[in-house]
Chain A
Amino acid sequence: MSRAVGLHLGLLAALAAAQFLLPDYHHGNLARIMVLAAFASAYNITFGYAGMLSLGHAMFFGAGLYAAGLAAEFGGTAAPLGLVLGVLAGAIVATVVGLLALRTTGVSFMIVTLMFAQAGFLTVLYFGEFTRGDEGFVLAPAARTVLGLSLADPATRYWAALCVFGAVMLGSLALARSAFGRVLAAIRENEERTRMLGYDVFRAKLMALAVSGAMAGAAGAAYALLFGYVGATFASIQYSILPLLWVLMGGAATVLGPFLGTLLMFYLIDISSSFTTAHMMIVGFALIGLILFFPKGILGTLRERAAPWLP
């Protein structure tokens, strides 16, 4: 087993052990952070590895959230099926959007994905009769049960969050170490050269977006099922920008960066908002400091300076 694999499995083992050690508040927080980190990892596939700056990922997260939520609300589906539906919804929406948006690159791609995400957000509001719009709806306890275990139970929720995060993280690791991952990195570094070498760049980018959408959909579905609330806020522009910030903080194109970024950003806001209403200014200063001292994010800079083996 290589150092890289050992490190990632070690993190999962540490997170499993934390279940028994953390006080209640941080235990609940870590479950939430793991789900959001799965979302950030999904974003990292598109932004970190394939070099596509998307501002549309709230749409993929929202697709998973609403697929699981609406299926449970109106179809009475069980939680595992909800998760599967979330993955499918995220992948399908990402593929359809990708077929259109990938005709553009760079800033244009960012604007087109943003436009689609806004359309998705407004669609949620438009169908308020079913989605309850911005107010959202609460999932019934019966819809949040797996094998007779309630996902509202802190321990069950923690294990479920760890499973989702672990699957996404190990999937990201496998992708980063695969031939496909190297193609994505090649596209990020020089798209024209990759095309000249005979790779189907459009197809590779579309696949990356679909995988990313599926992972984001899984995170969205998990959020709905684990925390019991489905609302339009999660499909708003804010949730397209947040994963970008988490990935930038932790380190783009590093497998563990999204988790580290989500963790640090969560506690930065949690702690600073207890002292000041200007907590977003503190976040802003932190990001400026990050750009000055860790231009490639914490783990990206660490990899560059001390640990080149870090995937």
Chain B
Amino acid sequence: MSKTTAPEPRTTRATLTRRTALKGLAGGAALAAAPGWVPYIEAQSSAPLKLGFQVHRTGIGAAYGRWYDRVTTAAAALINEGGGIGGRPVEIVTEDDGTDPKRGAEVVEKLATQHGCDLAFGTLFSHVVMGSAPRAGELKLPYFVVSEGHHVASGRLNRYTLQPGITDVKSQVRAMAPWVTQNLGKKVTMIFPDYAFGHDHRDFFSEAVAAQGGEVIEKIAIPPTESSFTKYFPRIPRGTDVLYHVMVGPGVLTFVKELGEFYGTGARPAIFGFIDSLEAVDIATPGLDFLEGTYFWEGMPRYAPPDASEHEGFYRQRVGVDANGASMSDPKDIATYAHMFGCWETLHVIKAGMEAAGYQGPADRAKLIEAVEAMTGMPESREHPQGDKVFNGRTHQVFGHQFISRVEGARLSVVHKTSIEDGMYPDEVDYTTQPF
């Protein structure tokens, strides 16, 4: 990490005469009265900090975006109740990116150059992050993504892009592999969408399973345009112990229904999936009965566990989610609970980073990045209700606990919580060596 050193104060000898004092006073008064100067003075003291929120309000990410929006609003309200950031209130400036990478880059530009935001945050879908991050780097705009993609820690982005509020997919699957191979079986068949998200799971999980002495015996890639899945199921080898699925999108209900029809009431392998498939979907939805007894990864348990911490309860209440993972005002409105905590925690990291950096304005953006890079441990707290975490300043990626839940009585019950170390992997980049 580069060090910033405060310039030495210059020592000058000046003779203060009545004339120079009067000149100084007059000049100061004129400047203070000049249009444009008063707001500047104000900005130094109490003007709101503008945090640009790039949200998927429309497009394929809209269900996630709706909850990211609510969590962001709740977190900003909490921060403002507590006196804001460094004594300055926080203003969230929201722009919809349509879950589109081209629009994402435009939105980052708009937040920086038109709205004058101090930073941007909140992007979820990986392709939007990839499309937007180069522009954030060019604009030298701190860009805090909440995406769980491996793009940040892989070194493919830039020094201005960080992911301090949610773990990445590589970490998640590595943490899952020991439990899956020890409890469900060592011969795994993977069913995944045939695009980057699915390929990440395929590559990282295969590697992690092999490290545990297991084997992925078949990899079934489903084309993204597919609407029926029955024809792929005969490819599942008979010796499969565990069926691992990460299907997402509108076809997921059909996928589960057809999988249930394929196996019927006969013997089937253990089934393990990522909750990404069913975020914002009620587990009790007719047609999902087949999921009973299967397992899911959760970033944060949707159904409040009996041993939930005080911080988890506080967070759940503030973001308006009931104990079943649904909106308090509409039980049919299911939260994207496994992911949305990332916005809450990211905003609190931003607050901690800005305060540590003594952030005053855009000139301090590099200081903010350095302050976040210097972070390491993040204890479980109201600011980090999902659990304690470790931030790696070199890779700009946070590491934390993961949860494995079993579907029991159309609810998800946590059966295992991984350690932070389970998900760690060697650094692939050191962003701190890149110049600002």
Given the known interface contacts A133-B196, A135-B126, A138-B130, the answer about A233 and B102 at a Cβ–Cβ threshold of 8 Å is yes
Q: Which residues of chain A come closer than 8 Å to B194, judged between CB atoms?
A: 125-126, 128, 133
Is B110 a contact of A135 with CB atoms below 8 Å?
A: no
B133 CB within 8 Å of chain A: yes
Look across to chain A and name the residue whose beta carbon is closest to the beta carbon of B100: A233
Is B113 a contact of A273 with CB atoms below 8 Å?
A: no
Is B197 a contact of A135 with CB atoms below 8 Å?
A: yes
B138 CB within 8 Å of chain A: yes
Q: Which residues of chain A come closer than 8 Å to B289, judged between CB atoms?
A: none
User: Which parts of B68-98 form the interface with A (CB within 8 Å)?
Assistant: 95-96, 98
Q: Which residues of chain A come closer than 8 Å to B110, judged between CB atoms?
A: 25, 270
Is A122 a contact of B195 with CB atoms below 8 Å?
A: no
User: Which parts of A120-136 form the interface with B (CB within 8 Å)?
Assistant: 122, 125-126, 128-129, 132-136
Given the known interface contacts A25-B114, A134-B127, the answer about A273 and B95 at a Cβ–Cβ threshold of 8 Å is yes
Is B134 a contact of A229 with CB atoms below 8 Å?
A: yes
B223 CB within 8 Å of chain A: yes
Stretch of B149-157, B306-314, B319-327, B360-368 lying at the A interface: B149-157
Q: Which residues of chain B come closer than 8 Å to A125, judged between CB atoms?
A: 194-195, 223-224
Q: How far is the CA of A136 from the CA of B113 in the complex (A)?
A: 25
Given the known interface contacts A122-B225, A136-B131, the answer about A152 and B58 at a Cβ–Cβ threshold of 8 Å is no
Given the known interface contacts A25-B113, A28-B113, the answer about A152 and B138 at a Cβ–Cβ threshold of 8 Å is yes
A116 CB within 8 Å of chain B: no
User: Which parts of A213-237 form the interface with B (CB within 8 Å)?
Assistant: 227-229, 231-234
A2 CB within 8 Å of chain B: no
B106 CB within 8 Å of chain A: yes
Smallest CB separation, B149 vs chain A (Å): 7
Is A135 a contact of B196 with CB atoms below 8 Å?
A: yes
Smallest CB separation, B351 vs chain A (Å): 26
Given the known interface contacts A25-B110, A25-B113, A277-B57, the answer about A231 and B130 at a Cβ–Cβ threshold of 8 Å is yes
Question: How many of chain B's residues have a CB under 8 angstroms from any CB in A?
Answer: 36
Q: How far is the CA of A129 from the CA of B58 in the complex (A)?
A: 29
Question: A229's contact among B114, B130, B199, by CB below 8 Å, is which?
Answer: B130
B383 CB within 8 Å of chain A: no
Q: How far is the CA of A11 from the CA of B157 in the complex (A)?
A: 37
B219 CB within 8 Å of chain A: no
Complex interface bits, A17-35 against B, C-beta within 8 A gives 1, otherwise 0 = 0000001110011001000
Is A273 a contact of B131 with CB atoms below 8 Å?
A: no
Q: Which residues of chain A come closer than 8 Å to B102, judged between CB atoms?
A: 233-234
B135 CB within 8 Å of chain A: yes
Q: How far is the CA of A138 from the CA of B113 in the complex (A)?
A: 22
User: Which parts of A8-51 form the interface with B (CB within 8 Å)?
Assistant: 23-25, 28-29, 32
Smallest CB separation, B256 vs chain A (Å): 23
User: Which parts of A56-88 form the interface with B (CB within 8 Å)?
Assistant: none
Is B225 a contact of A229 with CB atoms below 8 Å?
A: no
Q: How far is the CA of A136 from the CA of B199 in the complex (A)?
A: 13
Q: How far is the CA of A171 from the CA of B223 in the complex (A)?
A: 40
Smallest CB separation, B190 vs chain A (Å): 15
Is A233 a contact of B98 with CB atoms below 8 Å?
A: no
Q: How far is the CA of A244 from the CA of B408 in the complex (A)?
A: 51
Q: Which residues of chain A come closer than 8 Å to B130, judged between CB atoms?
A: 132, 135-138, 229, 231
Q: How far is the CA of A236 from the CA of B339 in the complex (A)?
A: 27
B101 CB within 8 Å of chain A: yes
B105 CB within 8 Å of chain A: yes
Complex interface bits, A267-305 against B, C-beta within 8 A gives 1, otherwise 0 = 001100110010110000000000000000000000000
User: Which parts of A176-216 form the interface with B (CB within 8 Å)?
Assistant: none
Q: How far is the CA of A87 from the CA of B230 in the complex (A)?
A: 42
Is A233 a contact of B101 with CB atoms below 8 Å?
A: yes
Q: Which residues of chain A come closer than 8 Å to B103, judged between CB atoms?
A: 269
B109 CB within 8 Å of chain A: yes
Smallest CB separation, B220 vs chain A (Å): 15
Q: How far is the CA of A134 from the CA of B61 in the complex (A)?
A: 14
Given the known interface contacts A132-B196, A136-B131, A229-B131, the answer about A25 and B96 at a Cβ–Cβ threshold of 8 Å is no
User: Which parts of B153-168 form the interface with A (CB within 8 Å)?
Assistant: 156-157
Q: Which residues of chain A come closer than 8 Å to B196, judged between CB atoms?
A: 128, 132-136
Tell me the B residues contacting A by CB distance below 8 Å: 57-58, 62, 95-96, 98, 100-103, 105-106, 109-110, 113-114, 126-127, 130-131, 133-135, 138, 149, 151, 156-157, 194-197, 199, 223-225
List 7 additional contacts besides A135-B149, A231-B130; criterion CB under 8 Å.
Answer: A24-B113, A28-B109, A118-B225, A135-B151, A152-B134, A228-B135, A273-B96
28 A-B pairs within 8 Å (CB atoms) are namely A23-B114, A32-B106, A122-B223, A125-B194, A125-B195, A128-B199, A133-B194, A134-B196, A135-B127, A135-B149, A135-B151, A135-B195, A135-B196, A135-B197, A136-B130, A138-B134, A138-B156, A152-B134, A152-B138, A228-B134, A229-B105, A229-B130, A229-B131, A231-B127, A231-B130, A232-B127, A232-B195, A233-B101
3 smallest beta-carbon distances between A and B, as pairs: A135-B196, A228-B134, A24-B113
